[in-house]
Amino acid sequence: MPLSTSSFERTIPDRPWPRLALVAASLALLAAIAWEARVRTWGYAPTLNDTSDLWAEQRGRVQPDSYVIIGDSRPHFDLDLDELERGLGQRPIQLALDGSCAYPVLADLAADGNFHGTVICSIVPGMFFAPGGPLIANSEKALKRYHHWTPAQRASHQLAMFAEEHLAFLKAEELDLPSLLARLPISNRAAVHLGPALPPYFNVIDRERRARMWEQAALAGPLQTRIKEGWIPLFTPPPPPSYLPQDVFLKGMGAAVEKRFHDTAAAVQKLRARGGRVVFVRFPNSGELRKHEDRLTPRIGAWTRLLNETKAPGIYFSDHPELAAFDCPEWSHLSAPDSVEFTKRLVPYITRALSTPAGG
């Protein structure tokens, strides 16, 4: 019986392997250096990628009494953690996720029996009341990573952060192969149903997930124009799918929105019952995007009703001249310097809102 000798050996092709390996590795290294130099001439600099791992790491830092920021990209860009710490007496955890709906994260915090801290939740009605799709999927992906984060993923994340802090070409969703392929100028069929394109890269992120708008995006120019052009299609609800009658689709959407109101109120109530607090914030927007959002999701139908049903305090930027004084250069987010000043001015409103009794 074959226990003493191996009966199978793979063939090794007869080639000058050491030389080939050396040449391939050297050429690949040279190509990487050349690519790094090239992307730096385009203005890219090393920055972290906003991955599910980075989010999970921050979620893991949440303490029972933490201040936690959740929501979409607006609180991500517009809030400065140093100013919040100075004003609130505690450094908040940044859990806002670009292109996401905050509800799954709010529900997750409500379900976490240990947590009785403070949630600063951004409301962009078109995103918060999304019944499904990528906005929900982005939040759920991050939550899944947090709840099932393996030791191997944690270790890879540490190595990835080290690399990303030194190499500009590691900017995912902008300079990786899928992004480069997606930018190929190939026209599509006339009748194809495709989702709107996401805006190009325009922020830098640190290990606490503090996002700052890229300087070039804050200045009038081609990049800013490209970003602006992306918002209106992104903030326009997709048409009903061809395979569902419009009334059935609209009825389903209506039911989903009603359910979101109900579930949000339940989550807020659950948090509050443990001593937790929630404050909703409507962050600034500008230009055509503000008009578009106000037309699609009028304040009374979403914001006012949300505050009524949850009995949570809310801060609507346009109610307060000192918060409404900012202009979003690309219509949706504040520039990095403005985000510091905006946060400084927002803190007293947060403090005041949190000291208001529920429903007051």
Partner 1 sequence: MLFNSLIFVVFFVVVVGTYWTLQSWSARKNLLLAASYLFYGAWNPPFALLLFATTAVDFFLGGRIAAAATPATRKAWTTASVVTNLSMLGFFKYGNFLLLNFQWLLARVGVVYQPPHLDVFLPIGISFYTFHSLSYTLDVYRGVCAPTRSLRDFTLAVSFFPQLVAGPIVRAADFLPQLVTPPVLKPGQFAWGLLLMTLGLFQKTVLADTLLAGAADTVFGYGGPLATLDAWTGVLAFAGQIFFDFAGYSTCAIGAALCLGFHLKDNFRFPYAAIGFSDFWRRWHISLSTFLRDFLYIPLGGNRSGAIMAGVNLLIVMFIGGLWHGAAWTFVVWGLIHGAFLVIERMLRTVVGEAAWAKSTVVRVLSGLATYAIVCLAWVFFRAADFPSASRLVNAMVGALAKGDAILSTREILQVGIVTALLLLAHWRLRDTSIEATVARMPRWLLGATWTAMLCTILLNQGSGNAFIYFQF
Nearer to partner 1, 155 or 273 (CB): 155
Contacts of 86 (CB under 8 A, 6+ apart): 347
Report the DSSP pairing between strands 203-205 and 277-282: unpaired
In whole angstroms, the minimum distance from the beta carbon of 138 to partner 1 comes to: 13
Nearer to partner 1, 6 or 41 (CB): 6
CA 339 to chain centroid, in Å, comes to: 16
Nearer to partner 1, 76 or 157 (CB): 157
Question: DSSP 3-state assignment of 86?
Answer: helix
Contact yes or no for 75/51 (Cβ under 8 A): no
Nearer to partner 1, 45 or 182 (CB): 182
Tell me the C-alpha distance between 207 and 54, whole Å. Answer: 7
Best CA proximity match to 142, nearest among 40, 70, 234: 70
Tokens of 334: 């504040």
Tell me the C-alpha distance between 93 and 86, whole Å. Answer: 14
What DSSP designation does 331 have?
A: S
Q: Residue 49's CB: how many other CB atoms inside 10 A?
A: 16
Ramachandran assignment for 311, one of left (phi > 0), alpha (psi -120 to 50 degrees), beta (any other): left
In whole angstroms, the minimum distance from the beta carbon of 131 to partner 1 comes to: 13
Nearer to partner 1, 41 or 188 (CB): 188
In whole angstroms, the minimum distance from the beta carbon of 257 to partner 1 comes to: 20
In whole angstroms, the minimum distance from the beta carbon of 12 to partner 1 comes to: 5
Q: Following DSSP, what letter does each residue of 27-55 receive, concatenated?
A: HHHHHHHHHHHHHHHTT--------HHHH
Bridge partners, residue 316, by sequence: 282
Give contact residues for partner 1 (rule: CB under 8 A).
1-18, 20-21, 23-25, 27-28, 31-32, 35, 51, 150-153, 155-156, 159-160, 163, 169-170, 172, 176-178, 180-182, 184, 186-189, 191-194, 241-244
In whole angstroms, the minimum distance from the beta carbon of 16 to partner 1 comes to: 7
In whole angstroms, the minimum distance from the beta carbon of 151 to partner 1 comes to: 5
In whole angstroms, the minimum distance from the beta carbon of 100 to partner 1 comes to: 17
Contact yes or no for 272/118 (Cβ under 8 A): no
Tokens of 245: 């009658």
In whole angstroms, the minimum distance from the beta carbon of 286 to partner 1 comes to: 31
Nearer to partner 1, 245 or 357 (CB): 245
